[in-house]
Amino acid sequence: MELILRLKEFYLLEILQVEYYKAQVDSSLDSYIHNAYERMVEHEQEHANFFVQVLTQHNQNVPTITGGLARLAGYFLGEALDFTSPANRYKVGMALEWKAIEMHRAFILETWKYPDICKKLWHNMMDEEFHLLWFKDQMRHSPA
């Protein structure tokens, strides 16, 4: 069933964000940056949990992640992650959030028959938009 495949894909998208932001939590001694990433991890984990819940309701297995973060990022972004500088870390964050927003827009149109899923996708997409805005703002203050 197409819906199940999409739910699994979204679970992986959210896990990618969880793992990427977790990897960034200790990238800065700045409490502001540290707490911003921690909060994003909480949001993305909550998004991922929703897909676990829906997949479980449909008696489906939750996909397991093989090959690590870089492979998962390659699947969604088609490129390797480069987090050698704060600016690059923000660029990857922006790319992830753009991809997530784009995927949410498409899935929202496909889920009109499933109002509970559709509503949650709208809310999650707003979180992704807020994350994107934060990265854009950080980019403005960050040395290249």
Residues at the contact surface with Fe ion, assessed by CB under 5 A: 14, 17, 44, 47, 128, 131
Sign of CA dihedral 62, 67, 70, 71: negative
Min separation Cβ 129 and Fe ion, Å: 9
The 8-class DSSP code of residue 113 comes to T
Q: Is 29 helix (H, G, I), strand (E, B) or coil?
A: coil
Q: Which is nearer to Fe ion, 59 or 72 (CB)?
A: 72
Q: Which is nearer to Fe ion, 42 or 143 (CB)?
A: 42
Q: Which is nearer to Fe ion, 17 or 111 (CB)?
A: 17
Do 82 and 56 contact (CB within 8 A), yes or no? no
Min separation Cβ 97 and Fe ion, Å: 5
Q: Which is nearer to Fe ion, 44 or 81 (CB)?
A: 44
Q: What is the DSSP string of 36-87?
A: HHHHHHHHHHHHHHHHHHHHHHTT-PPPPP-SHHHHHHHHHHSS----SSHH
Min separation Cβ 66 and Fe ion, Å: 21
**Rounded distance, CA 43 to CA 33, Å?**
15
Min separation Cβ 87 and Fe ion, Å: 19
